[in-house]
Structure 1
């Protein structure tokens, strides 16, 4: 197997790289005195208890499949990828797991996961899923996963009571960049209150945030056909400059602020607006039922349409699994209409489940659906982990005060080196 890409990621963690160990695979259907155990890993992103949800559906699956048992482990979102990489380094990954859409090419290229072409059946067919979600499972003419969830960064959330106090109409939130700046200015009363909160910590949330601004300004991170960096072109640079300009209306410390910290500031009333994904609506309902909040599209430049950064997670089978067919059976189960909505904090990737979920579980469903449809993907590349790292370093420099064009040029040079 070609493991150089994941080895690079493992090296960044200070560990070595080993090939998955060879395991004896019991032929499908062969009887066994002991039930087959399927190890499944996933992650926790919002206040929705994914471990509890997975336990409920696991019990249903085992009741329908008496010869199978499922062990579920749920990791905090920031620690999930390092745990997967460490498991690969030690040659003991789970049988199945959820993978971020942007990890698919990397894990497929390395040989860490199995192509699923020969296993696709009743609940795992392309026609059942949002097309943009299914496309993230395709790489080099093979299907490497089954979509579990789909969503988009960002939506604009706002505190209606704070709007009223500032003399703003809570039914007409800002929809353009100039309006966002003006509303942010009027809502900023430091140190007690700030206009909005932005993500700035060096993680994927920051990259998804800035990409949405770049896409909304008709910019690109890389050229989809050539892989050439475009993040230092005028449209992208203008978006990056605007993002930094917005920090004037944010509490100090943007460069260290992650998604969880942004949510806390919004729920506490310290900030009047927040740019977050639709999944955080679960958190708002559970933790602040009395908060009077609204949701709107991401503001865009005058005369342009808003775009979100497409995101979501897919279910995969690891190449080291001794029971790939049994593992895929659990993927099929998780893909059922009556199951998938229970086990994701994002929008289910099944068309029927996703549309029903948005209507029932999301405030302003038309806004959520529109921004989902306006989603644009992050670069599809087996080197994506290093592309996002280049973007993160770029934004840390920009938030620290470096000239935007200079920082973007350096990031573009790093990205272009990955093409050789």
Structure 2
């Protein structure tokens, strides 16, 4: 990620508690473990640059990272795991991959039990409930959470205070009122969104959908909810921010991940519902024009703050069924996901899934957003993991985009999405 590459690397001299020495295992020791993951963002820096060398020093085993762009990463895992290849020892996967990954990885309830037996201080209970839900598909835990992202409200507190708004907007109406009060085009608009018709569309819209009480569909029965009244109300509100109220930068229709960060750094907007860890980058004194101005809260609810619901997604570390080095793969994951190393990873752009890390007082004082993320993750709704979701998401992107551009009403756009979804679910053998 461009913004991440610009950040100065933090010192690696953080004092870490000594990890328990691994017990002797009957399994032979390999020269290396092969890790397959994606190369997006810098959140794996602690994993690659610090955890892996510490693991090699402790065990004598090198970790070889193959980090690929999203599509090649997924294709590599599908091809090798589908062929039952023994060449992958640690597989990194994200929520939307769970449906097809699950048959190829160990039951990670058993992995957790093995880790707990080796390291009683690992503390599985410290992992946030939302992170465990996101790592579970069809009732089976399919990986150990390493990174959990969620959508929270980022806002420039001084700008809202200058407009007489003394607390974060807690409802849709309060959000619109605040947006209209701080909107100052063409130099600064009120609201940043990821408006490009692409992979960021879902996460930019989903918090509004869930906080309005809307739903997607039922992957068991094939019932579609995306065009029901609550979902329509959510999309109409979201689209009106751009098409009707003009409180969104016009260029936001080209924005995705890097652009929402850069827009906050360049003072192009006063508020945004976006990835929680982006707060570190938007508020980065070395790169941001707006550093020191940002505050964070959960996303607004429709008519009450208690209705706030957001999306959660993330990345998990899993042991493939076919590796010959399962015992050592588990040992690497134990180390990577320990309290000590996840605390360190938070300093290096990761969004850890542990409550003790996100609620750490020093980290909260330094970064600001982690306790809010912890709160949001507990009630968050994981990105759909059913294999059919990849097909359904494409028409949803088009429908959201059409509403943002004012080409269709939210009702017409979502009626069309629902029609596409019904056909797609039937083709997947779901429903009638």
**Residue 68 of structure 2 is aligned to residue 70 of structure 1:** no
For 1:359 and 1:271, how far apart are their aligned partners in 2?
24
Query: Could you tell me which of 229, 252, 255 is aligned with 1:254?
Result: 252
- Conserved in 1, the CA contact under 8 Å of 2:203 and 2:311? yes
| Correspondent of 1:54 among 45, 48, 57 | 48
Q: Is the 8 A contact 2:134 2:314 kept in 1?
A: no
SS at match of 2:115: coil
The 10-residue stretch of structure 1 (330-339 or 288-297) with the greater mean CA deviation from structure 2: 288-297
| Residue aligning to 1:352 | 356
Give the equivalent residue in structure 1 for 2:73.
83
Tell whether the 8 Å contact from 2:128 to 2:374 is kept in structure 1 after alignment: no
Measure the CA separation in 1 of the matches of 2:401 and 2:203.
14
Alignment pair present for 1:156 and 2:153: yes
Q: 1:73 to 1:372 in 2, by over 3 A?
A: same
Counterpart position of 2:315: 313
**How far apart, CA to CA, are the structure 2 residues paired with 1:49 and 1:150?**
11
Q: Which residue of 2 aligns with 1:3?
A: none
- Residue 268 of structure 2 is matched in structure 1 by 270
Would you say the 8 A contact 2:359–2:370 is kept in 1?
no
Q: CA shift at 1:218, angstroms? A: 1.1
- Measured after TM superposition, the shift of residue 313 of structure 1 is 1.9
Shift of 1:138: 2.8
Contact 1:40/1:70, CA 8 A, preserved across alignment: no
Distance 2:421 2:179 in 1: 34
The answer on whether the counterparts of 1:106 and 1:383 sit within 8 Å (CA) in structure 2 is: no
Aligned to 1:12: none
- TM-score, scaled relative to structure 2: 0.78
Q: Which residue of 2 aligns with 1:36?
A: 32
SS at match of 1:84: helix
Question: Over aligned residues, Cα RMSD in angstroms?
Answer: 2.9
Alignment of 1:327-406 (within 5 A): 327-343=329-345, 345-356=349-360, 359=364, 362-363=367-368, 367-400=372-405, 401-406=407-412
Deviations 1:51-104 (A, max 9, x none): 3552111111111111x21023445xxx32443324534767743232212321
Shift of 1:336: 1.3
Decide whether aligned partners of structure 1 residues 355 and 43 sit closer, same or farther in structure 2, where only a CA change above 3 A counts.
farther
For 1:110-125, list aligned pairs within 5 A: 111-120=103-112, 121-123=114-116
2 CA distance for matches of 1:29 and 1:338?
Answer: 27
Q: How many correspondences in the alignment?
A: 381
- CA drift of 1:233 comes to 0.2
CA distance in structure 2 between the partners assigned to 1:403 and 1:409 by the alignment: 10
Kept in 2: contact 1:312–1:346 (CA 8 A)? no
CA contact (8 A) 2:215 2:225 kept: yes
Q: Is 1:42–1:97's contact at 8 Å kept on the other side of the alignment?
A: no
Contact 1:278 1:346 in 2 (8 A): no
Per-residue deviation at 1:245? Answer: 0.5
2:179 to 170, 180, 184: 184
Deviates more, 1:241-250 or 1:182-191: 182-191
Shift of 1:169: 3.4
Change (3 A) 1:273 1:367: same
Q: What is aligned with 2:20?
A: none
CA apart distance, 1:231: 0.6
**SS at structure 1 position matched to 2:93:** strand
Secondary structure at the residue paired with 2:145? strand
Give yes or no for contact 1:307–1:371 (8 Å, CA) kept in 2.
yes
Partner of 2:136: 138
Which runs of 5 or more structure 1 residues have no equivalent in the other structure? 1-27
Q: CA deviation at 1:192?
A: 1.8
Match of 1:195 among 190, 198, 204: 190
Q: Deviations over 1:8-57 (max 9, x none)?
A: xxxxxxxxxxxxxxxxxxxx84556x713333424443xx5533552111
Query: Deviating runs (4+, > 6 A) in structure 1?
Result: 90-93
Relative to the length of structure 1, the TM-score reads 0.80
